[in-house]
Structure 1
């Protein structure tokens, strides 16, 4: 951004070939309707690349994207007002019309058809949010203090699991897109944590058995501490799900 201008860009990564090990990114589209700092950009979870959401400090934009003609058009927009602050969000992979946003540490939910808020979890103390890619109604948040929380939106009064594991604020959290029990979190303690966190209800089928079976245990599988600075962003590689990307 420069001065009072804020925006985001859509880039295309060329395929690797034998002649070039480091292909140049191709700039496709600019998103220039923002007047506040952009906090995140979300692709349509269906895998199609013709819709995306951009969230800045005060607004949520729904865009129609035409990458072949390098064009972007705002479909709709919603503002949270001058007294509130958006800091992130996630698009529900099970409902293309539902999006979750973090507003003043609370979780708020919008219907994209009307761009109106449908519900909220007040004082969730969240800094980031991600939906479970495999199971409906479940999501995870990066806790305001030192860990992650798992939520079931059918019982939103309190988290169903709390997993502390950071020494300072947790800023980012992401489910593995294929193995939903694997979760990454990162924070200002210069640490990235890899969790094995079984989704709520994962052992419901066991409860009908006459023989008590051990419940699956959640655990911190590994902590990656080779960072000198705070880690503010995370992404699993779509090409190889064993790899992760981070932002400092």
Structure 2
């Protein structure tokens, strides 16, 4: 089942895509190319829902981009993790020159530039940087976490200094018999708690007391490839693995997953809760599929739905509300299950992200450089909001 939206093609291969978090009016995403033979580019893409149109702003980026971490509040600031030939991956905080827009807010399909602000370098204890996470709880946004294969490191960012200094380095060891390192990490939006995928296991690391795991899931998957915290119910995490499964866990009770989804036929590379409606959930993988799931039974909307239903029976306007729901959503409420699948991709999909400006829009990128922007189907949207 296909969904509304648009497709945009890059000139090079790509693995990383992130929403421009500091942009609250337009649905915009950063996409980075990954070509070790040719100069690369950081693309800022804008999606106009009224015209189903993608416009872009390209920024030269010499080396292959491995990961992107947009600033949580400043639209012109972004960190890229990149790889120079014969060197370990490192990161840089960049400041973009403001791209020009037309009268309606669309980008002008032009080329811009950016300047390096702070460099984040590997060290003896952090041999390479694979990803960067911004501290979601700090209003100053001056602290980031670098993920390496066998360690995590906290860096304090000071734009007055050319390089950031690691304030804390946390070694991370696999709890199984293999030497597999940290493949993914997610920062709890309400605490100094990092969920990491290490081999087959999930380890929760409290940054205040990092010497022992805050929680462990010894055999979450054959190999954990992606992880995400629910932004509204932070005790809930989602994991995806090489076994093709997506599992949801309550970190307060880890005897078994609270839900399991098996709609992918190969490795799952990315999982993502919707920031506003946590009953909406994205996943994508090596089967070229981007799946939109409804997981209302384990979301914050489950309890709210019970309260609302009880209130509706007592409210004087409940009949009008029910009539509107019948007209637009077929007299049905959201239930668990696969809402739709985007079939725009013909190669492995490595990233799928929700728009920071509109909770009904999401984007994805496949290895062949194809970017697809899709919308939550209208009938399912009305089931949620009516």
The answer to whether 1:94 aligns with 2:185 is: no
Q: Which residue in the other structure is 2:80 paired with? A: none
Provide, for residues 205-234 of structure 1, a one-character-per-residue CA deviation record: whole Å limited to 9, x for no partner.
749x8xxxx995212112112222211223
The answer to whether 1:203 aligns with 2:285 is: no
Question: Taking structure 1 as reference, are residues 223 and 18 closer, same or farther at Cα in structure 2, changes over 3 Å only?
Answer: closer
The answer on whether the counterparts of 1:191 and 1:224 sit within 8 Å (CA) in structure 2 is yes
Structure 1's unaligned 5+ residue stretches are none
Q: CA deviation at 1:193?
A: 1.0
Q: Which residue in the other structure is 1:3 paired with? A: 86
Alignment of 1:168-183 (within 5 A): 168-183=266-281
Count of residues in correspondence between the two structures = 243
Greater share of strand residues, 1 or 2? 1
Q: CA deviation at 1:4?
A: 4.3
Q: CA deviation at 1:39?
A: 3.2
For 2:269 and 2:362, locate their aligned partners in 1 and report how far apart those are by CA, in whole Å.
19
Secondary structure of 2:121's counterpart equals strand
Q: 1:238 aligns with which of 353, 356, 364?
A: 356
The answer on whether the counterparts of 1:29 and 1:71 sit within 8 Å (CA) in structure 2 is yes
Q: CA deviation at 1:119?
A: 2.1
For 2:364 and 2:159, locate their aligned partners in 1 and report how far apart those are by CA, in whole Å.
24
TM-score by length of 2: 0.57
Structure 2's unaligned 5+ residue stretches are 1-82, 311-331, 368-386
How large is the RMSD of aligned CA atoms in angstroms?
2.7
The answer to whether 1:217 aligns with 2:335 is: yes
Question: Taking structure 1 as reference, are residues 13 and 161 closer, same or farther at Cα in structure 2, changes over 3 Å only?
Answer: farther
Q: CA deviation at 1:62?
A: 0.9
TM-score by length of 1: 0.85
Provide, for residues 37-70 of structure 1, a one-character-per-residue CA deviation record: whole Å limited to 9, x for no partner.
5332111113642111111111111111123555
Of residues 63-72 and 116-125 in structure 1, the stretch that sits farther from structure 2 once superposed is 63-72
The answer on whether the counterparts of 1:203 and 1:215 sit within 8 Å (CA) in structure 2 is no
Q: CA deviation at 1:235?
A: 2.6
Of residues 73-82 and 164-173 in structure 1, the stretch that sits farther from structure 2 once superposed is 73-82
Secondary structure of 2:214's counterpart equals strand
Q: Which residue in the other structure is 2:168 paired with? A: 76
Of residues 168-177 and 12-21 in structure 1, the stretch that sits farther from structure 2 once superposed is 12-21
